[in-house]
Structure formats: C-alpha cells, structure tokens
C-alpha cells in the first residue's frame, strides 16, 4: 500500500529496522522473528535502512520482502552516494518487481571504510537529485528532515528550503532525525508550515536502551539532551534494567505528548529490538488513542 494514501486517512505508527551485519550473512531468521513480533502493534508501515554505497543491498531487499510476506507495508530507504543513474534504476526496478511502493530517498554519507573508484557523487549530489530521478516512476516518495538542523547546513532555514524543494519535486511525507526534546520538534514543524512545507512530518523516536548508546548517538547526531533525560542517563548509567525502564517511560511520554500535539505520525527506530519497542507502544497508549 502507498503510505501517502494511508496518511490521507489517519496518523501513523511505523518502525525502522536495519539489515543484520555482514557476519550474520544469509541468516535472516533473527530479523524475521523481530518483524513477526512487531506485527503485534499493527504498524502502518515498516522502513528498511540501506547502507550508503549499497553495502547491504541484497539484504535490504530481502528484508523488504519479509515485511511484505508478513502483510505489512515496506518503505525502502535508498541512498544516492556512489550510485549512478543505472545503479539506481537497477535497485528501483528490483523494488518494483518485489511490490515495494514506497521509497525514502536519501543522500547518504560517504562511509569511512569505502573507497570509490570515482567521485562518490557520480550522478546525484543531493537527495533532491535522487528524488527528481525517481519521481517519474510510480513510487510514493519520502525524505529526511532535521528538527535540529543537518550537521552540514549553514542554517536551519536552509534545511526547510530543501524540504520545500523536495516536496515540489514529488516527496509526499518526511521522517525526522531522532530527537529527545519535543519542544524543538513542534517549533520545527511550525516553522516548516510557515515556510510552506505542507507534507506530513513524522517524528523519529529513538528508544533509550543504554546510557552509552545514547551518549554515542548524541555525539554523532548532535541532538539536544533535555535536563530530564540527562538526569536519567546519569542516575541509571550503571543499572541497565532501571535504565531500560526509565528509558521506555521517557520514549512513551515523548510519543504521548507528540500525539496530543497533533503529530502526523510516530516512527520508532527499533534497533531491531521488538520487546522494548512493543512495551513503549503499550505505555504510550498510542494504539488505544483515536487516529
Ligand atoms: P540532503 O537532503 O541532500 O541534505 C544533505 C545536506 O545538503 C544538508 O545540509 C542540506 O541542507 C544540503 N542540501 C540539500 N540539498 C541541497 C541543494 N540543492 N543545494 C545546497 N545544499 C543542499 N543514511 C544511510 O546511509 N542509510 C539510511 O538508510 C538512512 N536512513 C535515514 C533515515 C532518516 C529518517 C534520516 C533522518 C536519515 C537517514 N540516513 C540514512 C542518514 C542520511 O543519509 C544523512 O543524514 C545524510 O547526511 C543526509 O541525507 P539527506 O537525504 O538528508 O541529504
């Protein structure tokens, strides 16, 4: 099913999964089990990440196939870095043949461990170029959004201008980078609307599994940590069970507040862990809430 059609009818709950690492090559039973467990929350769609430069391409396609086999709607991520138009056409052709109708078009970053024989920005410099190339095909297209600015952007307004260009080129909804401060999300969403970006903006929520994991993510993404979360990270740094519980509460209350603030969708970065994600969904009361 096309996600733009779903979003015309209701607000969405969705999940992101990633292909297992190389060393688990060929064995997709773990991710299959995770996806089967996640069906309990009746997600509106499940997104499957894509290694920039096509590192895990076959597995990303196989996982999209598993999502379909479980009667869920897949959203396949696709990155531009290192890809020619021919490479991209091969992937979109494979996605079409599988029956995938939704693509998240991304620029990607140049992976530190990959060497490209030529310029990594062969045919596409920005995600917008990829969107323009795929738009004539029949996919429902989405793009990334950054409530706290993309690290390379000179100013947050630049990102919003880019969103507007993507929307005009065919993107019908956005998914945000993870954030922990809902006020920043609401401010960003209002700014987008004022700037004429009308497409739904789904909020990316990262569950807190371990203090160390969050510290690393914060360092990479540069996202803000509100005082309340900082206190949780300090208090339970050496107590994984208590951190998991407090972290689930934090994510659940973030979701509840976003939902009552009219968010068009909640997209949970599952890190391929189903039980805590299902717990967060249950605690948030989201599935009992009105659409
Ligand atoms: P772009 O939209 O191209 O933006 C990148 C930078 O260029 C920004 O600073 C922007 O302001 C600037 N810019 C854009 N267009 C123009 C223009 N026309 N002129 C001048 N400046 C411009 N990475 C992966 O490798 N695999 C994944 O599966 C993946 N999934 C993701 C899912 C989500 C929801 C998000 C938020 C990110 C994901 N990423 C993924 C990371 C993403 O690839 C990086 O954040 C990357 O640095 C930017 O991608 P983008 O699509 O936002 O790029």
* Chain segment 187-239, per-residue pLDDT in tens: 999 999 999 999 999 999 999 988 888 889 999 888 999 999 999 999 999 99
Confirm whether pTM is higher than 0.85: yes
Residue 240 CA to ligand 1 centre (angstroms)? 33
Q: How many domains does the chain have?
A: 1
Catalytic residue among 16, 62, 101, 167: 16
The per-residue pLDDT for range 101-111, each reduced to its tens digit, is 999 999 999 88
Domain that holds residue 242: 3-289
Confidence of residue 22 (pLDDT cuts 50, 70, 90): low
Q: Which residue has the tokens 């979109």?
A: 92
Closest atom of ligand 1 to 78 CA is 28
Q: Which residues pair with 103 in a beta bridge?
A: 76, 141
Inform me whether the pLDDT recorded for 176 exceeds 90. Answer: yes
Inform me whether the pLDDT recorded for 23 exceeds 60. Answer: no
Structural tokens at position 9: 């009818």
Nearest to 95 by CA among 62, 128, 47, 56: 62
| Residue 198 near residue 190, CB atoms below 8 Å | no
Q: Which CATH number do you get for residue 223?
A: 3.20.20.220
* 9 tagged catalytic: no
Q: Is 107 in the pocket of ligand 1 (CB under 6 A)?
A: yes
Rounded to an integer, the average pLDDT of 46-50 is 97
The per-residue pLDDT for range 227-253, each reduced to its tens digit, is 999 999 999 999 999 999 999 999 999
């Amino acid at each position: 099913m096309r996600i733009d059609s779903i979003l015309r009818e209701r607000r969405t709950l969705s999940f992101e999964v990633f292909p297992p690492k190389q060393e688990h090559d060929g064995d997709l039973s773990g991710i299959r089990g995770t996806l089967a467990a996640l069906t309990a929350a009746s997600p509106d769609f499940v997104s499957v990440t894509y290694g920039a430069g096509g590192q895990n391409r076959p597995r990303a396609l196989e996982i999209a196939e598993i999502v379909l086999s479980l009667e869920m709607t897949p959203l396949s991520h696709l990155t531009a870095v290192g890809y020619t138009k021919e490479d991209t056409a091969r992937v979109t052709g494979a996605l079409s043949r599988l029956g995938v109708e939704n693509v998240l078009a991304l620029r990607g970053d140049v992976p530190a461990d990959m060497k490209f024989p030529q310029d990594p920005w062969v045919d596409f410099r920005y995600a917008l170029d990829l969107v323009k190339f795929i738009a004539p095909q029949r996919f429902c297209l989405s793009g990334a959004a950054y409530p706290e600015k993309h690290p390379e952007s000179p100013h947050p307004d630049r990102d919003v201008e880019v969103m507007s260009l993507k929307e005009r080129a065919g993107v019908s909804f956005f998914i945000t980078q993870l954030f922990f401060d809902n006020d920043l999300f609401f401010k960003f969403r209002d700014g987008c609307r004022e700037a004429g970006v009308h497409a739904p903006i789904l909020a990316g929520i990262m569950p807190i599994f371990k203090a160390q994991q969050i510290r690393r993510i914060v360092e990479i993404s540069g996202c803000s940590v509100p005082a309340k979360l900082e206190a949780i990270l300090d208090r339970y740094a050496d107590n994984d069970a208590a951190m998991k519980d407090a972290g689930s509460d934090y994510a659940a209350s973030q979701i509840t507040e976003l939902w009552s603030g009219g968010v068009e969708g909640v997209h949970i970065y599952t890190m391929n862990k189903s039980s805590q994600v299902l717990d967060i969904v249950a605690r948030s009361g989201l599935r009992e809430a009105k659409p």
